[in-house]
Amino acid sequence: MHFKPNLLRSVVFSCLVGVYASAAWAIDPFPVRDIRVEGLQRVEAGTVFASLPVRIGDLYSDEKAAASIRALFALGLFTDVRIEVKDGVLMVVVQERPTIADVDFSGSKEFDKDILKKSLKDIGLTDGRPFDKALVDRAEQELKRQYINRSMYATEVVTTVTPIERNRVNLSFAVVEGEPAKINGLRIVGTKAFSESSLLGLFDQDTGGWLSWYTKSNRYSRTKLNADIESLRSYYLSRGYLEFKVDSTQVAMSPNKQDIDITINVTEGERFVVSKIKLAGNFLGKEEEFRSLIAIRAGEAYNADLVAQTTKAFTDYFGNFGFAFARAEARPDIDRTTNRVELTLQADPQRRVYVRRINVAGNDRTRDEVIRREFRQLEAAWYDGEKIRQSRNRVDRLGYFKEVALDTLEVVGSPDQVDLTVTVSEKPTGSLSLGAGVSSADGLGISFGFRQDNAFGSGNSLGVELNTSKVNRTLVFNTTDPYFTEDGVSRTIDLYQRSSKPYADLNSYSIETTGASMRFGVPFSDSDTVFFGAGVDRTTIVPGSLLPLVYMDFANQFGYTSNALPLTVGWARDTRDSALVPSSGRIMRVNGEWSVAGELLYARATGQFQQYIPVSKKVTAAFNSEIAIGAPTSGQAYPIFKNFYSGGLGSVRGFEQGSLTTAAQRAALTSTGSVATGGTKKVTFNAELLSPLPGGGNDRTLRMYGFFDAGGIYGDDEAIQLNDLRSSVGVGISWISPVGPLRLAFARPISKFEGDKIQGLQFQIGTSF
């Protein structure tokens, strides 16, 4: 190898300089007499002293110098650090980083500024923190990521750093959002067994429609695309295509980052049929019981959903015997020559465990005892999967929480113990309404309503209603203690005073009602409760114009003021999985009322049955039926004030609230125009199909529904006949809002009678049906 003379001399000279420089900077160890710091503005000197690895009296060396500089730079507070040595004194000279005085955003419309500031605060970029250029670059990427999650790929972020006095800087992020990228084309290539359009109907994402402005279903999201691909895979696997696979997914974006074309390439494979199902492993000697849980059958197409349902049923059933960590898996043996598959269900119960502790989390307002008293699984008892599921459903049925999750955690070092953690997400359980109105006839009227279903986090409900209108005066107070006794006996107290004028004419007649009642609910099982109660009720007819003939006849027989002392008894069975948004289970109610004293002697009974059936993971079918009947218990007539009413939300939608009439009343309405006064018998049938709004995922708090209603009202001498029923169909929206369940319905009557009062659009704050 040969070097040029000039190059050789340069290399030798550089090496000599390096050697002499190293020798010149080398420090002989010496004891430190003092340590001083210069250049501090905001950082405390104690922070520097605490970070230095050397103290007064220590021997100072090159190693200590390097370690000291590294330690101070590691604080992230300084842009420059050097250490000077003179007469045994260390002089630490630092230059502080500027401090961020303010962070501002401009041009951001998609996000609220507070949300953007929080996202930057999470990475350490906020007011009062040291300025770091690396963090600013990271912040720009974080902001772009937030916009990409909203399909806004063309977003640009420009950062401006403005120095101000006292070594501070202002940060300004200028955002140019642009338009969100929209899906221009969406294709599935390789489909043979099913049409492409039917498969695309499974996706949450699409190329847009009339509701895309709300659902944003045409905005591209990688997360949503992955979920759609899983829906596609699940669709094929549940129809026998055991070897279905997605070969590739191609996402092409236009140069202006506004249009996206998605192509999904798939291979369907052959369709397989289950030829045989057998059990393998330890089934605790209960093979026949486990066989009854198998959802898939031999001779049917392989269905991954039913296989998963079966393995879950197996693990749940093992859990009923204390085996919390049981494993169950399906092992398919594929015969490709015949397109058949033999399914082996392998089970291993593993170890039996008991519950050491039950923890409650997420209940910032609700007391622990309100949740714990709903648990049927006890601490220091064997793990019981059925009791745990009951406990979770009971907590959900309280109606105080948006979500209820229950996790099983192993106890480290104790393989036979587990801890249960129930995590709740609280929701507003109260409602407040306040209104006022002024009219020349009615004067000033004030209305006030308050209801809290979880008052002070105690689980007790409290309600007050007040209306000072001259047409409708109301004062109502009610409260319920669901655990009046430790055994779970509930107590409800109602106090009320109402005065109503059916007509706006202030000279018309009015009905005044005053009363009180107390009811107790005694639980006989986890789902069965029997109610007992008593009350006192006084009703007064205040004479005036437009008094209907039926009220005049009643006053002539009983007087204008009448009293009643009703005794009540009822039974309810509730197996719903949720009180507000049930998707499975049923509720049955039977109630009876018998007035044993006073001028009004009567008996009345109501029965109700509701059933909820999950049609799919998102769609629920709901059915409701109700029948009511009343009769006098003496030779007198049945009190008209105890009549049943129907029509409107809660019964037959599409008709005005409480406006349905009996056959006799229809004749009177035609001839005299008198008001509907209800009937002594009532029947109602409802059917609903509920699902989340398109593009809304599986949000159960905001759902749309279609419905069919039928119902009728009948008098004393009238038999219940189906051809007398009114019926209607329609659609609506149900929203679990902060003020309670809200329902909006648009209905169209199918069968109606002359004189019926039609109301196509109706709104209600209340529960289903």
Model pLDDT for residues 701-722, shown as the tens digit of each residue: 788 999 999 999 998 888 888 8
- Position 405 pLDDT exceeds 60: yes
Contacts 24+ apart (CB under 8 A), 227-233: 228/202, 228/203, 228/204, 229/264, 231/202, 231/203, 232/188, 232/199, 232/202, 232/203, 232/264, 232/266
Q: How far is CA 53 from CA 63, 64, 573, in A?
A: 10, 7, 72
**Picking from 200-214, 294-308, 317-331, 466-480, which range would have the lowest pLDDT averaged per residue?**
200-214
Mean pLDDT, residues 579-608 taken together: 92
Structure-token match 């039609």, residue found = 758
Supply the pLDDT for residue 165: 87
Beta strand pairing call for 702-714 and 726-737: antiparallel
Residue 160 phi, psi dihedral angles, 5° rounding: -120, 125
pLDDT band for 740, please (50, 70, 90 cuts). low
Beta strand pairing call for 528-542 and 510-523: antiparallel
- CA–CA gap between residue 167 and residue 172 (Å, rounded): 17
Instruction: Name residue 280's amino acid.
Output: A
Mean pLDDT, residues 681-690 taken together: 96
- CA–CA gap between residue 53 and residue 72 (Å, rounded): 10
pLDDT band for 675, please (50, 70, 90 cuts). low
Supply the pLDDT for residue 521: 95
Supply the pLDDT for residue 4: 42
Supply the pLDDT for residue 506: 67
Q: Kindly provide the residue ranges of all beta strands, DSSP E only, lying in 289-376, ordered along the sequence.
A: 327-335, 340-348, 354-361
DSSP of 172-222: EEEEE--PPPEEEEEEEES--SS-HHHHHTT-S--S--TTHHHH-TTB--H
Supply the pLDDT for residue 671: 47
Mean pLDDT, residues 301-323 taken together: 94
pLDDT band for 2, please (50, 70, 90 cuts). very low
What are the residue ranges of helices labelled H in 75-132? 113-121
Q: How far is CA 310 from CA 103, 278, 279, 303, 340, in A?
A: 55, 13, 12, 11, 19
Q: How far is CA 159 from CA 96, 104, 109, 162, 515, in A?
A: 22, 10, 17, 10, 69
Model pLDDT for residues 612-636, shown as the tens digit of each residue: 999 987 899 999 999 999 999 987 8
- CA–CA gap between residue 283 and residue 318 (Å, rounded): 8
Residue 608 vs residue 454, higher pLDDT: 608
Give the mean pLDDT of the chain: 86
Tokens at residue 123, please? 């990475």
Three-class secondary structure of residue 326 per DSSP: coil
Mean pLDDT, residues 520-528 taken together: 90
pLDDT band for 371, please (50, 70, 90 cuts). very high
- Position 138 pLDDT exceeds 70: yes
Model pLDDT for residues 69-104, shown as the tens digit of each residue: 999 988 888 888 999 998 889 999 998 888 888 888
pLDDT band for 145, please (50, 70, 90 cuts). confident
Supply the pLDDT for residue 729: 96
Tokens at residue 518, please? 């107390």
Instruction: Name residue 618's amino acid.
Output: K
- Position 507 pLDDT exceeds 70: yes
Model pLDDT for residues 5-17, shown as the tens digit of each residue: 443 444 433 443 3
Instruction: Name residue 200's amino acid.
Output: L
Supply the pLDDT for residue 434: 64
Instruction: Name residue 593's amino acid.
Output: E
Supply the pLDDT for residue 26: 61
pLDDT band for 594, please (50, 70, 90 cuts). very high
Q: Which helix (H) or strand (E) element contains residue 562? A: strand 561-564
- CA–CA gap between residue 24 and residue 22 (Å, rounded): 5
pLDDT band for 534, please (50, 70, 90 cuts). very high
